[in-house]
Structure 1
Amino acid sequence: MAEESQRRNRREDKPKPIVVSVRFPDLLLQQVHAYAAVMNTTANAFIREAVADSLREKIRTPEFKAATEAHLRRAQATVAVLGVNPDPHSGSGAAPADGGAAETTEDEGRDVA
């Protein structure tokens, strides 16, 4: 009885995985299954590993850094429309006393996601 309780507690301590559904072209899915069979693993394990490897590689690129900076600029411009300061280090974050809108610079643009 104690052993069963310990097993249940170990399972409860583990983070619960999130299940996603991804559509693969037939050929790619066949290739994934073939690779997994050859390497004596599962398709799911191979896909998880491939995604993790891809993310580690892509987030180190100059393109990702530039995209991150552009994303942050757009997000700050979006929040600025509310008249609040999104930077927690630069003040209270309250709207301007005159109730006016925040200024935007010409280079921020008006990108709509």
Structure 2
Amino acid sequence: MSRSVLLQLARDSIQEVFQAQRTIDKLALLSEHPLLNEKIATTVNIYLENELRGSYGSTQATKSLLEDIVFNAKKSAFEDKNFTPLTTSEYLSCEIELLLVTPDGVMSEKDPAILKD
């Protein structure tokens, strides 16, 4: 499974809050990507102009990868106590970094901003 699916899941999770509706088809994702059922701890970091704008992570793998990404993405965007909730314009300009804590070490990938300067 490509990690871009995971980054898209993080983006879609945040977008669900802005749209005030559930748009992620979890059953279809779980069916198409069985790895999303595995318990893997994640951290989602949000950056604006290379500055941290929000972060939230799991210390232990207690949820499925799918649920962990959805939960941590929303928490990092809207409930990080160090920042105000993310705005729509910030969302469009932010980079999202996803960290996966695996037995082989930490894997990381960043998703570029939707709108470029």
Q: Same fold by TM-score, threshold 0.5 exceeded? A: no
Greater share of residues in strand: 2
- TM-score, scaled to structure 2: 0.22
Per the normalisation by structure 1, the TM-score is: 0.23
Query: Which one has a bigger Cα radius of gyration?
Result: 1
Q: Which has the higher contact order (CA 8 A, sep 6+)?
A: 2
